[in-house]
A and B are shown apart, each in its own frame.
Chain A
Amino acid sequence: MLKKTALVISLVCFSLSVKAVTVDELVKKNIQARGGLKNMLAIKSVKMTGKITSGPMEMPMTLYWSRPGKLRMEMSLQGQNIVQAFDGKIGWMIMPMMGSSEPQKMPKDELDEIKTQAEEMIEGPLVDYKKKGHQVELLGKEDMQGTETYKLRIKLKSGKERTYYLDVDSGIDLKTTEKIKRQGIEVVQHSYLGDYQKVGGVMVPHTIDTKGADGHGAQITIEKVEINPKLKADLYTLPKKQEVKKEKTEKKKTK
Chain B
Amino acid sequence: MISKARMSLAILPWWFCIAACSHTPEPSLTRPADLVQKSEHAGRPTTTLPRALETKIKIDPASFGAVEARAIGPAVMGGRIMSIAVHPDDPKEFYVGTASGGLWRTTNGGANFRPIFDEHNQSIGALAVDPKNPKVLWVGTGERCPRNSVTVGDGLYKSRDGGENWARVGFENSERIAKIVINPRNPDEVYVGVLGHLWDDHPERGVYRTRDGGKSWERLLYVDQATGCIDLEMDPKNPNILYAAMWQHRRSPDFFKSGGPGSGLYRSVNAGKSWKKMQHGLPEGDLGRIGIAVAPSNPKRVYAVVEAEKTALYRSDDRGGRWLRLDSSFNTIVRPFYFSEILVDPKQPDRIYKLGMLLTVSQDGGESFSSPFTGGAGIGNVHPDMHAIWINPENPDEILLGTDGGVYRSFDRGNNWFFLNSMPLAQFYHVSVDNARPYNVYGGLQDNGSWMGPSRSISGIENKDWKTVGMGDGFHVYADPTDPDVVYCEYQGGNLLRYHHSTQETKEIRPYPEQGEPKYRFNWDTALHLSPTRPGSLYVGAQYLFRSADKGENWIRLSDDLTTNDPDKQRQEESGGLTIDNSTAENHCTIVAIAESRMDGDVIWVGTDDGNLQVTRDDGKSWTNVVSNVPGLPKGTWVTGVEAGRFHPAQAFAVFDGHRTGDKNLYVYRTDDYGQSWTSLATDQIEGYARVIRQDLVNPHLLFLGTEFGLYITVDGGRQWARMTGKFPKVAVHDIVIHPRDADLVVGTHGRGVLVLDDITPLRHLTAEMLEKDVAFLPARPSVIKVPGSEQAFNGDDAYVGDNPTSSATITYYLKKRHIFGKLHLELYDPDGNLIKKLPGSRRRGINRVSWQMRKKPPKVPPSPQLAAMGLFGPIVTPGVYSVKLIKGDTEYQGKVELVLDPDSPYSREDRLLQQETVWKLYNMQEELGFLDKTATSLRDQARGLSAEQNIEVELGTRLRQFADKLEKLHAEMVETQEGLLTNEQKLRRKIIDLYGAVSNYGGRPTGSQLQRVKVLSAELNDASKQLHGYLEDLKDLNAMLLKNKLDVMKRLDREEYQRQTDAGASMPGGISMRRYGRMIRFW
Contact = CB atoms under 8 A, between A and B. Distances in A.
B393 interface: no
Interface string B824-854: 1100000000000001110111100000010
Contact of A147 (B818, B841, B862): B818
Interface string A153-178: 00000000000000100101110000
A58 B1066 contact: yes
Interface residues of B, number: 68
B1081 A195 contact: no
A114 B1080 CA distance: 10
B877 to A, nearest CB: 13
A114 B938 CA distance: 34
B981 A98 contact: yes
A31 to B, nearest CB: 9
Contacts of B822: 195-197
B211 to A, nearest CB: 21
Nearest to A204: B1083
Interface string A93-116: 101111111000000001001100
Contacts of B1084: 34, 120, 122-124, 126, 173, 193, 205
B1079 A146 contact: no
A238 interface: no
Contact of B845 (A57, A124, A147): A147
Interface stretch (B737-745, B775-783, B1067-1075): B1067-1075
A51 B979 CA distance: 26
A152 interface: no
Contact of A194 (B819, B864, B865, B1081): B819
B872 interface: yes
Given A194-B843, A195-B822, A54 B1070 contact: yes
A197 B871 contact: no
Interface string A118-149: 00111110100000000000000001011100
B1082 A121 contact: yes
B1064 interface: yes
Given A56-B855, A84-B1075, A195-B822, A208 B1080 contact: yes
B793 interface: no
B1081 A96 contact: no
Interface string A76-104: 11111010100000000101111111000
A239 interface: no
B887 to A, nearest CB: 11
A95 B1083 CA distance: 26
B941 A52 contact: no
Interface residues of A, number: 80
Interface string B1026-1070: 000000000000000000000000000000000001111111101
A123 B1071 CA distance: 28
Contact of A208 (B61, B873, B1081): B1081
Contacts of B715: none
A172 B1083 contact: no
A252 B938 contact: yes
A36 interface: no
Contacts of B862: 79
Contacts of A221: 825, 840
A26 interface: no
Given A54-B1070, A146-B845, A252 B937 contact: yes
Nearest to A198: B821
Interface stretch (A16-24, A211-219, A229-237): A211-219
Contact of A78 (B864, B1061, B1074, B1080): B864
A52 B1078 contact: yes
Given A58-B1064, A59-B1066, A60-B1062, A194 B1074 contact: no
Contacts of A207: 824, 840-841, 843
Contacts of A197: 821-823
Given A58-B1065, A60-B1062, A99-B865, 5 more contacts: A75-B1075, A97-B1068, A101-B979, A122-B1084, A221-B825
8 contacts: A56-B855, A78-B864, A82-B1075, A145-B845, A146-B65, A170-B820, A204-B1083, A253-B941
Q: Which 7 pairs from chain A and chain B are nearest by CB?
A: A146-B62, A79-B863, A146-B845, A57-B1066, A124-B1084, A218-B1077, A99-B981
